[in-house]
Every structure is written in structure tokens, then in C-alpha cells.
Amino acid sequence: MMKFPGYSLISSFTPFHCIILKKQRRLSALDLSFNNPTKSRRTLSVCATKQQLHNINTQIEMGGQQYRPPLFSVAPMMEWTDTHYRTVARIISKHAWLYTEMLAAETIVYQQENLDRFLAFPSEQHPIVLQIGGNNLDNIAKATQLANAYGYDEINLNCGCPSAKVAGHGCFGVRLMLDPKFVGEAMSVIAANTDVPVSVKCRIGVDDHDSYNELCDFIYKVSSLSPTKHFVIHSRKALLNGISPADNRRIPPLKYEYYYALLRDFPDLRFTINGGIDCVDEVNAALREGAHGVMVGRAAFNNLWSTLAHVDSAVYGVPNSGLTRRKVLEQYQVYGDAVLGTYGNNRPNIRELIKPLFGLFYCEPGNNLWKRRADAAFLMKNITTVKSFFEETLVAIPDAVLDSPVAELPSGRKDLFANVRGLLPPPYETRAEEVVLYAAQYQA
């Protein structure tokens, strides 16, 4: 049975690989409560239902903090996975693991008077992972210390971002894969300054440093120099020759065989697969093939409802809750109007709070009209609350869409992992002198 470092095993549900993980909960600065007045058909009421989530032989108690493992997680995405997105994502899925946007260590260190804006989150967002980036050990240590008070469930170091601002001028992100010794030191620094698990998110290579052995060298050295036991593997290499981050998600070919070879060659580590997986059916295909966990990126934002609404039932085996998009918006309205303008200078504003919702009606009747009405509403002086925004715009969406339950699980590509086992590279072999060298460095 797979072990999850830093968590205690409570129980398991074999058909869905469900394992309950227990951690002590710490409340955040933005805990919110919901009320429940009368509901009308066309407008949204301020209503939050309490879901009764049951497993066949397990029970989640969020107050005691028992978490299911990260079989499904939403990738950290700059300017996308902010606290507003994570709030609506958590309303839809109670068990997906959520990642923050990458926060530069320097931002945390030099914004100590404004940390809530960057680090605070509603307690409902657990389980949640903070991703940080940086190449200065002192700042990484200070950032980790400052983040501790907010109660994240894991801290992840970004070693995968190919953006020119990050990997180029910033000299961190995916460029750190070329310096595994530094990454090992950074992970040791993070682990020394927190009491939660730590992890690394990386690519399978950088430019011409893209062989399977070079990837294994990176994994081996980082895990030998630090307590890191969890790696999130984006199954493409990164190209640092000036192409855009979008092209870096499209041009380099996916090599899932590298990911599955890591499971074979590092049985004591835990690996999450990322890259090119666009729906829950494909998530389950990766899990059936043996993946420890699956991370989904843009699909969880662009096709918000269809992706996340299936996670709890199809991945974690939780009975369908009967959630509808109207109910999602009712709860999100409470959150949005509670935080509107709380940062000062009219931040967050209506536009920032509505941005995460643009994938809620993907490919549904009325979606394009709703977006046009939204663009117009952003400019109206009388639209001063999330409630008034919904009243102005949701007339474009038919009641049948707002009130329909989750549809059947959409089918994914059947050949995504075809013959992946037949493509595995030869087993990785570490030279004996390297084992002694890195073990000695870590112990020292």
C-alpha cells in the first residue's frame, strides 16, 4: 500500500484507492460562515447547504482534519489559482487538493505588512498546498517561517516554471533543475522551517538535459539531500530558448513513460503526474495505470464544472451530493460579497471575483451571452456587489442549466497511456560512490 509521508493512515476504500489522511487543522484569517434565506428561481439566494459526505467505510471530519490523499490536485497557475478560484473550486469539490499560485519567496519576505493579501485563505480551502519560488536560501527560509502561521498542508518548491521572468531573469523555476544540489539544500531549508510535508514540482528535463538518467539524477540527489518524498512531475521537458510558457505546454512532447519509470525506480518516493490530462476519465486512467496522484491544470479552470464536479464521486468514491451550479453560485456570492474591497483600493473588485467563474458554463446554452452581459456589467456603476452582478447577468443562463445536476462522466482519450509500460526506459542505476557521497552530505 502506498505511504504518504507526513500523514497518518486512518482507513482505506480499495475500489477507489481512498485513504484517509489525518492532520491537525489550523484556522485561517478568513473563516466565513453562510446563512440560508429564501430562494427565488431567477435570482440567487444567499444559501449554503451542508453536504453530508459519506464513504462506504470511512467518514471525513473536516474539523478533526482528516484528508483523503492527493489522488487529484489542481495545478498552481499564475494569475489563475488565486484564493477566489480556490474558493469556488472547493465549493464544487470537497476533496481535490488545491495549490496556490506560485509566490516568490521575496514577495513574502518583503510584504510582511501585507501578508494576508498573499497568504490568507478561508479554512474551507483545506487541503491546500503553498507553492513558493526562489533561489535565495535565506529568503526561502524566511518565507517558509512567515507562511507557517497560515496553516498550509504542504509546501511545494517550483522547479518547473519555464517563464522568462522566472527561469530567465529570475534564475529559478525550471532552471533550478540544472542545480539539484541547490534544490536539495532549499528543500532542507524549507523542511527545517515547517512541520508540514514538503514537495517539488518539476519537468522531466531542460533543453538538451532531457535524458531519463538526468531526470533520475535530479530526483535522486534532491531526495538524498533533503526530506523530500513527493515530486510532482510535468511530463514534458522545458525549452528555455525564448518560446512562451504556453508553447512550453504544447511543443515539447509528453513522455509519460518517464513518469511511470520513476515509480519503478524510486519505490520509496511518491510521484504525482501532470501534463496533458484534461478530464476526470483520463485522471482515472492514469490512476489505474499505477499513478500515485494526478494533477490537472487548465482544464480545471477553463472547464470548471465538468472537471471538478466529478472529482469527489469518480475519483474518491463519495456519493453524489446533488450539487448544482445555482447552489455553487449561491455559496460563492456569500464569499464574494464578504471579501469585496477588503484589500483596500477597491481590491478585490467585481471583475477579479467573477474571473474564476468563466469556466462554469463551458459549452452550455447561454454561455456566450452571459460573458457578453458580464463584460457590460463590469462597466455599470450600479453593479457594486456580487449579488447585483448575478442579478444583472444570470438571466442569460437557462434555469435548466443552473439547476441541472452533474451530468455523466465525460469520456477521455482511450489511448493516452497506451503501451506506456512497453516504452519504459532502462532502469536507473546509481553509482555506489554517489550513494555514499549524497547520504553523507544529507546526514551532515
| Active site amino acids | 161
- Residues whose CB is less than 8 angstroms from the CB of residue 67 and which lie 6 or more positions away in sequence, other chains included: 7, 20, 21, 22, 23, 60, 95, 126, 127, 153
How far is residue 166's CA from residue 102's CA, in Å, rounded to a whole number?
10
Q: Is 131 helix (H, G, I), strand (E, B) or coil?
A: strand
How far is residue 133's CA from residue 83's CA, in Å, rounded to a whole number?
18
How far is residue 215's CA from residue 234's CA, in Å, rounded to a whole number?
12
Cβ pair 392, 411 in contact under 8 A: no
Strand-by-strand arrangement of the 66-67 sheet? 8-13, 18-22, 66-67
Beta bridge partners of 8: 22
Rounded (5°) CA angle 377-382-388: 70
How far is residue 400's CA from residue 232's CA, in Å, rounded to a whole number?
39
Q: Which amino acid is present at 253?
A: P
- Residues whose CB is less than 8 angstroms from the CB of residue 7 and which lie 6 or more positions away in sequence, other chains included: 21, 22, 23, 67, 69, 197
Q: At what angle do helices 180-192 and 212-225 cross, to 10 degrees?
A: 30
Q: Which amino acid is present at 360?
A: L
Q: What backbone torsions phi and psi does residue 60 show, to the nearest 5 degrees?
A: -85, 130
